[in-house]
Structure formats: C-alpha cells, structure tokens
Structure 1
Amino acid sequence: MAEREIAETVALRALAWLMGPADLAETFLGASGLSPQDLRLRATEPETLAAVLDFVLMDDQWVLAFAAAEGVAPDRVARARAALPGGDLPHWT
C-alpha cells in the first residue's frame, strides 16, 4: 500500500475516533468550520483528512488516546500527516 493510501486510512480512522466522544466531535467541527453534513460529504477528501490529523496533533493526549484505541504507533499520526497535502510545510516549533 502506498504511503499516501496508508496516511488516508490512518486519517479516516482518526476521524472515526474523533466522532466517538461528543466533546471532541463538537470541538473538531467548531475548529474546522465544517457542519456535520459537510463533513459527511467531504470526509474522504485529502484536505479534510489532513485537517483531521492536524486537529489530533494539536494535543499530545489526543494522539496517545487515538493511537492506543486504534493500535497504531503514536508517531504514525505525524508521519501520516506528512504524507497528505500541506504535510511538507516546515514546522516552526
């Protein structure tokens, strides 16, 4: 499986995980500006998937919780983000 396809799969799993806890789902929708209907329509777009991973990466506890729930290495989230649009931009932190 190509790196991009793996990244999209990780991001889709992250999106499903985000939609579990109501407070995280609401926070993501508020931060992204997407309505639930918009999210359903655009969920597989690479830019939306990148936004999902950007959101999860904002909080180390979210990364760890997602990784534990989905059985992926925590660093896989950042690697998946790097493979999606905009992931090659420099990080200033």
Structure 2
Amino acid sequence: MMPDYPIPQDDETIALRLVGWIVADSVRAERMLSLTGLEPGALRTGLSDPATLGALMDFVINHEPDLLACAEALDVKPASLVAARERLGQ
C-alpha cells in the first residue's frame, strides 16, 4: 500500500526503496547475498555508499522478473530504475 504523501524520487531514495524491496523477501535476500557476496553487516554499513547501492540495483536490474516486480512494487517504471542506476554510477 502506497502512503498518502508523495515519496521523494531522487536516485538514492529509489535505491534505498529497492533495497527494502529486496530484503522484504527472505528468499530474494538470500539470493542477493549469495550472488553479490555481500555480508549482512557490509550491507548495513554500505547503504550510504553509491557503489553498494549500485551493486544492489544491478542485482535487480539484471534479472528481468525482479526488475518488473520491483518497479511495480515501488510504483515506478522499470526504465526509471535503470536510469537511477546509471546516474548513481556517475
């Protein structure tokens, strides 16, 4: 359920919302940890690091079913996630 107030759509906020979507599902979170090699502690401390956020965005973007499901859950277009990832990498 979306809140009744507008959610900021800056790139970092989109990335953090994407991380929330990843970890909301334990199977998906375990798959992310396994594929990225991140440890839970490194994930927590890396949330302010654009490189870590970019890697987590890549995890979603590179698996089309996740990209589509995440975009729907966050109420954004898949292309918006891809564009935010590209800008974070600059």
TM bucket, shorter chain = 0.7 to 0.9
**What number of residue pairs does the alignment pair up?**
82
Q: Measure how far apart 1:32 and its partner are.
A: 1.5
Match of 2:31 in 1: 27
Q: TM-score, normalised by structure 1?
A: 0.81
Question: Relative to total residues, which structure has the larger helix share, 1 or 2?
Answer: 2
Residue 53 of structure 1 contacts residue 81 of structure 1 at CA under 8 Å; is this kept in 2? yes
Match of 1:72 in 2: 76
CA RMSD of aligned residues (A): 1.4
TM-score (norm 2): 0.84
State the secondary structure of the residue aligned to 2:24: coil
How much has 1:61 moved relative to structure 2? 1.1
Kindly report structure 1 stretches of 4+ aligned residues shifted beyond 3 Å.
none
The answer for unaligned runs of 5 or more in structure 2 is: 1-8
Residue 86 (structure 2) aligned to one of 62, 82, 86: 82
Offset from partner CA, 1:46-90 (integer Å, 9 cap, x none): 0001001110011111111111111111110110111012x6xxx
Query: Unaligned stretches of 5+ in structure 1?
Result: 88-93
